[in-house]
Copies of this chain bind each other. A is one copy, B any other.
Amino acid sequence: MTTVAYLGPTGTYSEIAALQYLQLCNSNLEPNPSQMYPYSTIAKAINAAEHGNVDVAVVPVENSIQGGVTMTLDSLWQSESLQIQQAIVLPIAHALITRSQTLEDIKVVYSHPQSLAQCQQWLELNLPNAQQIATDSNTDRLHSVAEDVTVAAIASQRAAEIYNLPVLKFPINDQPDNCTRFLVLGRTAPTTKGTHSSLAFSLKRNMPGALVKPLLVFADRQINLSRIESRPTKRSLGEYIFFIDIDAPIDNPNLSEALHELQSVTENLKILGSYGIYIVV
C-alpha cells in the first residue's frame, strides 16, 4: 500500500493532489487515511521520501500565476535518490472562508503567501482594510476562523467542508485559469516511462553562448522544451542551475542522443525523471 507525504495539514491543495495520485495508482479505489502523511513544510515532505519514511512525496512545482516553487526545485537538485514518478496538474480555485456574513466585518485574512498573491487584486478591491497575514499552509488558521467572526482564511472549498466552516465568496482568485503542477517524487523509477522528461544542469563557466549550447542540442533534433527555469547555484551571484522539461520520454532515441551530447557542454547533468502528466478536470 503506497504511503504519501504531502504539505499538510488536511484540506490543502497538496492533499487533494496526493489523493488524486493514490486514486490513479489504485484504479480509483478510495484511498485509506493511513496512507496519507502530512508534513509542515515542502522540505520535510521531500526528506521523508528521500529517507524512506514514505514511498513518495507529492509537492507543488509550478503555479500558472506565481511560477516555480523554488523549494521543490532546490530540493530536487540536491536529492541523491529521488525521481519524478508522475506529474499532476490541479485546477486551483480559492474560497474566502469566514463565519462573517459580510465583507465589512472582516479584519484579518490568513493564507499561504502564494494564495494571498493569487487573490491580490480581489483583496485590494473587496477587503482593502483587512490585514493580510502569511501562514505556512492555507489551513493553518482555520481554527481562528471558527473562533472569531472577524477573521477569514483563503483555502479550498474542500478545506471549508473538512473544517465545517462557511464559504462567503467563491472563487476569489484573480485569474480564472489558475492551476498548479505537482510532482510525485520517489526513490524508484516509475513503472512506465510516460510522455515527459525533466533534467537539470549547471554550466562549466559563464561565457558567451554558454546556455545556447545545451539548448541547441535539443533544437537541432526538434525536441520541444516545454519549460526552462533558472535557480542560483548558491555559490555566487550570476551562477545558475537550469531546469528543463521536455515533451518526450527519456528513452526517445532523439533524446538519448541529445543527453549524450549534453554531457560535454554542461558541468553537472541530472536526469530528474521520465513520467506521465495527469490533468485533473
List chain A positions with a Cβ less than 8 A from chain B: 43, 62-68, 70, 89, 113, 120, 134, 175, 177, 179, 181, 206-209, 211-212, 215-216, 218-219, 222-232, 234-238, 240
Q: Which residues of B contact A62 (CB under 8 A)?
A: 232, 237
Q: For A215, give its contact among B206, B212, B229 (CB under 8 Å).
A: B212
> With A and B bound together, what is the CA distance between A208 and B120 in angstroms?
35
**Chain A to chain B contacts (Cβ below 8 Å), 12 pairs:** A64-B234, A64-B236, A65-B232, A68-B230, A89-B237, A208-B218, A208-B222, A208-B224, A211-B228, A212-B215, A212-B218, A227-B240
- Contact (Cβ within 8 A) A224 B211: no
> With A and B bound together, what is the CA distance between A225 and B63 in angstroms?
26
- Contact (Cβ within 8 A) B228 A230: yes
The closest CB in chain B to the CB of A212 belongs to: B219
Given A64-B236, A64-B237, A65-B234, 18 other A-B residues pairs in contact with their CB atoms under 8 A: A63-B232, A67-B230, A89-B237, A113-B113, A134-B134, A175-B234, A179-B237, A181-B237, A206-B224, A206-B226, A208-B218, A208-B219, A208-B223, A209-B218, A211-B215, A212-B219, A227-B240, A229-B229
- Sorted nearest first, the 5 A-B pairs with minimum C-beta distance are A209-B219, A212-B219, A64-B237, A208-B222, A208-B224
Overall SS of chain A's interface: mixed
Chain B min CB distance to A129 (Å):
13
Chain B min CB distance to A112 (Å):
10
> With A and B bound together, what is the CA distance between A11 and B69 in angstroms?
29
Chain B min CB distance to A105 (Å):
23
Q: Which residues of B contact A235 (CB under 8 A)?
A: 177
Q: Which residues of B contact A181 (CB under 8 A)?
A: 237
Known contacts A64-B232, A66-B70, A219-B212; decide if A238 and B226 are in contact (CB<8 Å): yes
> With A and B bound together, what is the CA distance between A227 and B233 in angstroms?
12
> With A and B bound together, what is the CA distance between A234 and B174 in angstroms?
10
> With A and B bound together, what is the CA distance between A207 and B218 in angstroms?
12
The closest CB in chain B to the CB of A207 belongs to: B224
Q: Which residues of B contact A232 (CB under 8 A)?
A: 62-67
